[in-house]
């Protein structure tokens, strides 16, 4: 079960289901030939180059799916390969050529044996056949060869090759096949056969078996002719000696005769042996010719044919065993390089948890350019935070020229992050710019940016990112990566609406004049800044345009429309001013609660002087409440439907005003005029707030203190409104100028 | 034997080399996508490690834990005042809406850790032990799975291995492995599997099988590389161009042809080695081969030629003598050994003409041989050796090009070349570069020579591998 599941997952057909082929030596031979063929490709042999070295994708695939071990897959691949057929043909040509050579060899052996037998028995007329000479002639060379073979097989079994008779037959076979069929395929086939058959056990036993077969044929043929000649002609056997005595010859002959006699051959006895001595003269002794000839034949059988036959059988058995045991050497480079193709080390499971686009919260497009941090107009310090910098390797804080610096420290963990955020929130002088110093060594990640976004949201400051440590990154040997890394930071910065020009690479450890200038320009300390686009004029125009459409004192819903229009002017900064109004989470839940919070927030920001004025108190509450309404409607127009009815809203605002008034000890009844003044004041206050948001709370209060004067003139026509707005703008500029002074 | 399939999740901060680790473990330069940019992997991708075609381990590549500080804060918020086990907090988080929104990447990684048997936490050892990485470890520590920290990029300068080890010990992670995915040291992988094994006893057999398989592969790779180099060297050493020296243009042309042939042959070897080690040709910047010097002259009487001649002549003479002896027997011993002696002489002569006959004839005809000189062969060997070493030390995550091959060899020219090379110099038929491919008769001896030489190279390569 395990196998099945595995294999189906690995995308292959289980070998067991498909039926494993029975692999024989021929298959391995083919694989070997194919390996050689593929290896020979492109290496000089031009005619091979065309055909070989194909990747054989189809056969690779079949082999992969065949399963089994590596060798099996190699064999399957070879069998399926498109060069398999020509190679098989070449191998079979080779086989038949070798077989022909073997037959030829056997015939030659038979003929040679006949010649030997004749030569052995040929004597001068009147002379007997010398028995020992005849024995040596028939068995001598054969026994010598046998001894050499035995020595070789016992002492150096690996060197059984070209020298032997079998080797000669084999080489001849290949030579003949080479003559008959020429071509690269035949060449590699011959090499493959050479590799398989002339090395190792198969070669050893094959060649030995051929040798034994040849000698067996030789001896058989020899024996046959001897029998024939002895049958049809009269021969006399004798033995001669010059230096040896009868005492040597008799036991020797008897020793030779022991085994043949045991097998039933008639052998000469002692007296016959003695009688058969011939001294070279006189008539040859003819006492025991039949016994002598039987001993000769018996010796050939016993000392020649039987051992050869036994050895032939043994060699064939060993050869068979070697053939069965033969395995491809899969460590050869030709195979090893196939491994990744037909025996993959890995199988893809695929994507298990796909990437999905996370539902993005709707974030209004907002681009805070650090250019807005004009050092002249906004004299506050530059808040600097070091994000995940190496404390030991960084000289902190970074040098910010031409301005005060609010050091938020290096943040590396949650506690430090919190502390930095607190420092930023508690700043006595509101900073004009937030600079995050990051190391190029670290890869930008969402973690850093969600923190930076949080800081930016808390402070409503424009954010600039300074990327340092470029040199260290280069020193790591990642010279080419620096540009890419800066790109990565910019890409992530864009997700929190920080523009590309606000992300600069300045190596703070190796500051140059140029990089100093860049840094100064970024932090607004230089003179190369563009003025911030003031929107208050436009906001005031919006107020005036609305007033002109009014026929009577505007209703709350008309006022809400006006606030909405003003909010639209500052729409691209809506996130930060929503925060200022404590309306950052978007529209959710009880609207009345939000309105309450917004009203209170504006009242908090107002200077104490205004809070003691009932009129301003009411105006502030309306500004905050309608600001929240504007924010809500700006985020989603459908939110209007969720608003309490306008009368309910009015009651809520009145309730707030009442509560605040009590808090400030004012209990006189509200004097509500019939003119536009309250609505215009509330709208103007809203516009001013939106214009100066992003500064610290204290700064906001200071500016409001200057802008709002105690007595509000009666405004019953657009001209009066316009006049009053002009005076407000004048005071606003004055306030900004005061703020700009150090 | 059925092995337990081990599930491994590879986690870590963004861009520390998670995918690289997988590529190196898989020996697959094509797996996933690797870049210097962060968050390259945004999904969980699985791949099985096979041993002998059977799956033994599933590896999962996960997206980076990018906002660990935020996530841990969130997890702490989930816990609140309750007493909860880390794993329950993680489970609650994974079931929550946040796991689909702000922390979707982190959730993917954590989900995979929970589904796996072990997590490999990849660390860029050049990084500081920063707050976010500490938080990552703390989050992983809550997953109730064994975590094996893997220190990547330890081979470079500026590593903070000691610092990391100290911190890891502090958070109770002791089975730390140093494993550079770009610069391999040969044993890193084995140590990695062994470390996992110490933490996961039920999978010991699986991991042992894996280790064994990897060791076997490595051995085969060494052997196969040695084979390729030996083939190259024999081919080049045996390569001979026959030309008339007297004719200047034909001599120059012969030299140029030979140089080109040798360059092409080296390129083929380089390609084969790259393919063998699972790299692409584009990973290698092949510099120009330095000067290939040729050597003119017919080396008929070099010691090797004489020695070889001696051996072969002896063999042939013995064969001839045997044949003569047979003749002797056939004629009834009338020649009394004359036939045997004649056979021996004929055999020796035949052997000589067979192996050197055409060369002698060439000489008579006024042609001479041009062959690659010894120093070039030494240089070829040194270059391929350097390439193989580089390939063995190259992780499959490496993005850089393989450096150029050495242009000179330190080996002194006085040092004797290995025997098989000397032997091949007198056997032009051993070279696959010479025209019509191999001739048959030389094959067995050529195979022996290649084997012999490859054995030597293999020993050298293994020694170099073991020595590091």
Distance from CA of B385 to the nearest CA of A (A): 15
A-contacting residues in B 402-441 (Cβ below 8 Å):
431-438, 440-441
Mutation target to probe the A interface, by most A beta carbons within 10 A, among B94, B99, B311, B330 is: B330
Q: Three-state SS for B150?
A: strand
Q: Rg of chain A over CA atoms, in angstroms? A: 56
Q: What is the mean pLDDT of residues A309-322?
A: 93
Nearest to B2 among A2, A115, A354 (CB): A2
CATH 3.40.50.300 residue ranges in chain B?
Answer: 6-199
Residue-wise pLDDT for B311-355, tens only, equals 666 666 666 776 666 666 555 555 556 666 777 777 766 666 665
* Number of DSSP helices (H) and strands (E) in chain A, helices first: 32, 8
The answer to whether residue A357 scores a pLDDT higher than 60 is no
Report residue A213's pLDDT band, with 50, 70 and 90 as the boundaries.
very high
d(CA A330, CA A326): 12
d(CA A554, CA A679): 7
From the list A535, A548, A554, the residue with the least C-alpha distance to A686 is A535
Report the complex ipTM. 0.73
Report residue A45's pLDDT band, with 50, 70 and 90 as the boundaries.
very low
From the list B245, B191, B221, B233, the residue with the least C-alpha distance to B25 is B191
**Record: fold of B6-199:** Rossmann fold (3.40.50)
Q: Rg of chain B over CA atoms, in angstroms? A: 32
Q: What is the mean pLDDT of residues A539-566?
A: 83
Residues A331, B220: C-beta atoms closer than 8 Å: yes
Q: What is the mean pLDDT of residues A714-735?
A: 84
How do strand B118-124 and strand B44-51 relate by DSSP bridges? unpaired
Query: What DSSP assignment string belongs to A403-431?
Result: S-EEEEEEE-SHHHHHHHHHHHHT-SS--
Per-residue pLDDT at B274: 84
Mutation target to probe the B interface, by most B beta carbons within 10 A, among A10, A13, A336 is: A336
Taking contacts as CB-CB distances below 8 angstroms, the residues of chain B near A339 are 217, 220
Is B39 near chain A, with CB under 8 Å? Answer: yes
Is B58 near chain A, with CB under 8 Å? Answer: yes
Nearest to B101 among A333, A358, A390 (CB): A358
Is B327 near chain A, with CB under 8 Å? Answer: no
Taking contacts as CB-CB distances below 8 angstroms, the residues of chain B near A421 are none
Report residue A589's pLDDT band, with 50, 70 and 90 as the boundaries.
low
Instruction: State the first-to-last Cα distance of chain A, in angstroms, to the nearest integer.
Output: 82
CATH of A370-523 given 3.30.1330.40, 3.40.50.300, 3.20.20.140, 3.10.290.10: 3.40.50.300
The answer to whether residue A363 scores a pLDDT higher than 50 is no
Residues B100, A358: C-beta atoms closer than 8 Å: yes
Residue-wise pLDDT for A608-634, tens only, equals 887 777 788 888 888 888 887 787 777
User: Of the ranges A5-14, A300-309, A624-633, B275-284, which is most confident?
Assistant: A300-309
Residues B53, A69: C-beta atoms closer than 8 Å: yes
Give the number of residues written for chain A. 742
CATH 3.40.50.300 residue ranges in chain A?
Answer: 370-523
B-contacting residues in A 312-331 (Cβ below 8 Å):
330-331
Residues B319, A163: C-beta atoms closer than 8 Å: yes
Identify the closest residue of chain A to B224 by CA–CA distance.
A333
Report residue A318's pLDDT band, with 50, 70 and 90 as the boundaries.
very high
Per-residue pLDDT at A13: 39
State chain A's maximal CA–CA distance in angstroms.
177
CB A128 within 8 A of CB A284: yes
- Provide block-wise average pLDDT over 10 residues at a time, chain B (468 residues): 83 83 81 64 82 86 86 89 87 86 86 92 88 90 90 81 90 85 76 88 89 86 89 86 74 81 85 82 66 59 61 66 64 58 71 63 69 81 85 73 64 74 79 61 74 88 75
Residues A44, B433: C-beta atoms closer than 8 Å: yes
Per-residue pLDDT at A526: 46
Identify the closest residue of chain B to A66 by CA–CA distance.
B53
Per-residue pLDDT at A529: 37
The total of other beta-carbon atoms located within 10 Å of residue A555's CB is: 14
Instruction: State the first-to-last Cα distance of chain B, in angstroms, to the nearest integer.
Output: 35
Is A355 near chain B, with CB under 8 Å? Answer: yes
The answer to whether residue A311 scores a pLDDT higher than 90 is yes
């Amino acid at each position: 079960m395990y196998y099945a599941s595995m294999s189906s997952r690995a995308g292959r057909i289980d070998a067991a289901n498909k039926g494993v082929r029975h692999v024989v030596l021929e298959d391995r031979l083919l694989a070997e030939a194919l390996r050689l063929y593929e290896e020979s490709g492109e290496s000089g042999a031009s005619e091979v180059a065309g055909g070989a070295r194909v990747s054989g994708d189809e056969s690779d695939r079949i082999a992969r799916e065949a399963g089994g071990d590596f060798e099996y897959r190699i064999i399957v691949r070879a069998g399926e390969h498109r060069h398999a057929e020509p190679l098989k043909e070449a191998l079979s040509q080779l086989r038949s050529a070798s077989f022909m050579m073997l037959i030829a060899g056997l015939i030659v052996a038979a003929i040679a044996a006949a010649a030997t037998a004749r030569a052995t028995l040929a004597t001068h007329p009147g002379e007997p056949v010398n028995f020992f000479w005849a024995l040596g002639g028939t068995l001598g060379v054969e026994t010598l060869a046998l001894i050499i073979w035995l020595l070789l097989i016992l002492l150096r079994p690996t060197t059984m090759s070209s020298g032997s008779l079998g080797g000669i037959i084999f080489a001849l076979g290949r030579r003949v096949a080479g003559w008959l069929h020429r071509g690269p395929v035949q060449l590699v086939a011959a090499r493959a056969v050479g590799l398989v058959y002339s090395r190792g056990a198969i070669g050893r036993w094959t060649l030995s078996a051929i040798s034994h077969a040849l000698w067996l044929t030789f001896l058989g043929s020899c024996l046959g002719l001897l029998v024939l000649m002895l049958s049809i002609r009269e021969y006399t056997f004798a033995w001669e000696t010059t230096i040896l005595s009868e005492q040597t010859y008799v036991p020797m002959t008897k020793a030779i005769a022991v085994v043949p006699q045991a097998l039933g051959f008639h052998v000469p006895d002692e007296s016959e042996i003695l009688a058969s001595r011939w001294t070279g003269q006189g008539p040859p002794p003819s006492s025991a010719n039949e016994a002598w000839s039987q001993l000769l034949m018996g010796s050939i059988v016993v000392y020649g044919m039987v051992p050869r036959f036994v050895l032939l059988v043994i060699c064939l058995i060993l050869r068979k065993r070697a053939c069965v045991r033969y395995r491809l050497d899969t460590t050869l480079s030709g195979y090893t390089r196939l491994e990744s193709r037909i025996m993959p080390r890995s199988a893809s499971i695929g994507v298990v948890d796909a990437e999905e686009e996370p539902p993005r919260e709707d974030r209004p497009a907002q681009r805070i350019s650090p250019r807005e941090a004009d050092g002249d107009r906004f004299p506050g310090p530059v808040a600097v935070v070091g994000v995940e910098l190496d404390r030991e390797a960084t000289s902190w804080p970074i040098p910010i020229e031409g301005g005060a610096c609010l050091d938020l420290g290096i943040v590396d963990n949650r506690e430090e992050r919190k502390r930095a955020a607190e420092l930023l929130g508690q700043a006595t002088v509101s900073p004009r710019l937030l600079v995050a110093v990051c190391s190029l060594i670290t890869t930008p990640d969402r973690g850093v940016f969600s923190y930076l976004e949080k800081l930016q949201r808390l402070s409503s400051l424009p954010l600039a990112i300074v990327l340092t440590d470029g040199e260290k990154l280069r020193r790591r040997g990642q010279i080419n990566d620096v540009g890419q890394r800066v790109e990565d930071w910019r890409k992530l910065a864009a997700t929190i609406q920080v523009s590309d020009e606000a992300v600069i690479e300045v190596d703070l450890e190796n500051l140059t004049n140029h990089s100093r200038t860049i840094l100064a320009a970024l932090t607004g300390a230089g003179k190369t800044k563009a003025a911030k686009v003031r929107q208050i004029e436009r906001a005031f125009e919006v107020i005036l345009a609305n007033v002109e459409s009014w026929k009577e004192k505007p209703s709350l819903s008309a006022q809400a429309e006006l606030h909405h229009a003003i909010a639209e002017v500052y729409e691209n900064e809506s996130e930060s001013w929503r925060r200022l109004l404590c309306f950052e989470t978007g529209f959710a839940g009880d609207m009345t609660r939000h309105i309450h919070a917004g009203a209170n927030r504006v009242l908090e920001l107002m200077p104490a002087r205004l809070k003691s004025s009932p009129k301003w108190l009411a105006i502030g509450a309306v500004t905050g409440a309608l600001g929240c309404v504007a924010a809500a409607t700006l985020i989603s127009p459908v939110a209007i439907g969720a608003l309490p009815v306008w009368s309910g809203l009015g009651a809520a605002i009145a309730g707030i005003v009442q509560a605040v008034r009590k808090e400030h000890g004012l209990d006189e009844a509200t004097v509500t005029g019939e003119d536009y003044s309250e609505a215009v004041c509330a709208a103007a206050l809203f516009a001013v707030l939106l214009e100066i948001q992003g500064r610290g709370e204290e700064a906001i209060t200071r500016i409001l203190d200057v802008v709002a004067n105690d007595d509000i003139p009666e405004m019953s026509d657009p001209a009066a409104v316009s006049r009053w707005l002009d005076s407000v703008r004048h005071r606003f500029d004055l306030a900004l100028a005061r703020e700009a002074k150090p | 034997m059925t092995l337990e399939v081990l599930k491994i999740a590879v986690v870590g901060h963004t861009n520390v080399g998670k995918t690289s680790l997988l590529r190196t473990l898989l020996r697959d330069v094509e797996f996933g996508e690797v870049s210097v940019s962060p968050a390259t992997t945004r999904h969980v991708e699985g791949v099985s490690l096979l041993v002998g075609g059977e799956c033994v381990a599933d590896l999962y590549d996960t997206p980076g834990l990018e906002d660990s500080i935020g996530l841990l804060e969130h997890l702490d918020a989930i816990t609140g005042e309750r007493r909860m086990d880390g794993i329950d907090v993680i489970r609650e988080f994974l079931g929550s809406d946040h796991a689909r929104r702000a922390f979707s990447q982190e959730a993917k990684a954590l989900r995979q850790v929970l589904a796996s048997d072990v997590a490999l936490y990849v660390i860029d050892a050049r990084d500081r032990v920063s707050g976010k990485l500490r938080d990552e470890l703390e989050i992983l520590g809550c997953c109730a799975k064994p975590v094996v920290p893997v220190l990547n990029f330890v081979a470079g300068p500026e590593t903070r291995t000691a610092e990391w080890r100290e911190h890891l010990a502090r958070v109770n992670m002791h089975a730390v492995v140093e494993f550079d995915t770009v610069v391999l040291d040969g044993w890193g992988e084995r140590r990695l599997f062994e470390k996992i094994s110490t933490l996961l006893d039920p999978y010991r057999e699986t991991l042992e099988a894996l280790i064994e398989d990897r060791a076997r592969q490595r051995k085969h790779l060494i052997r196969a590389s040695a084979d390729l180099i030996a083939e190259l060297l024999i081919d080049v050493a045996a390569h001979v161009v026959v030309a008339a020296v007297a004719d200047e243009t034909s001599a120059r042309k012969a030299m140029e042809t030979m140089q080109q042939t040798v360059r092409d042959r080296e390129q083929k070897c380089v390609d084969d080695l790259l393919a063998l080690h699972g790299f692409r040709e584009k990973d290698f910047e092949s510099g120009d081969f330095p000067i290939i010097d040729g050597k003119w002259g017919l080396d008929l009487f070099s010691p090797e030629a004489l020695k070889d001649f001696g051996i072969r002549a002896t063999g042939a003479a013995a064969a001839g003598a045997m044949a003569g002896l047979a003749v002797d027997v056939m004629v009834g011993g009338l020649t009394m050994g004359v036939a045997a002696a004649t056979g021996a002489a004929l055999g020796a002569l035949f052997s000589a003409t067979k192996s050197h006959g055409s060369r002698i004839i060439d000489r008579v005809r006024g042609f001479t041989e041009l062959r690659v000189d010894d120093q070039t062969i030494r240089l070829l060997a040194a270059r391929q050796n350097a390439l193989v070493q580089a390939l063995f030390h190259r992780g499959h995550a490496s993005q850089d090009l393989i450096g150029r091959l050495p242009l000179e060899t330190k080996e002194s020219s006085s040092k004797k070349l290995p025997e098989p090379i000397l032997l091949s110099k007198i056997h032009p038929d051993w070279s696959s570069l010479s025209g019509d491919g191999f001739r048959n008769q030389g094959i067995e001896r050529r195979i022996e020579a290649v084997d012999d030489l490859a054995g030597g190279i293999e020993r050298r390569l293994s020694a170099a591998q073991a020595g590091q």
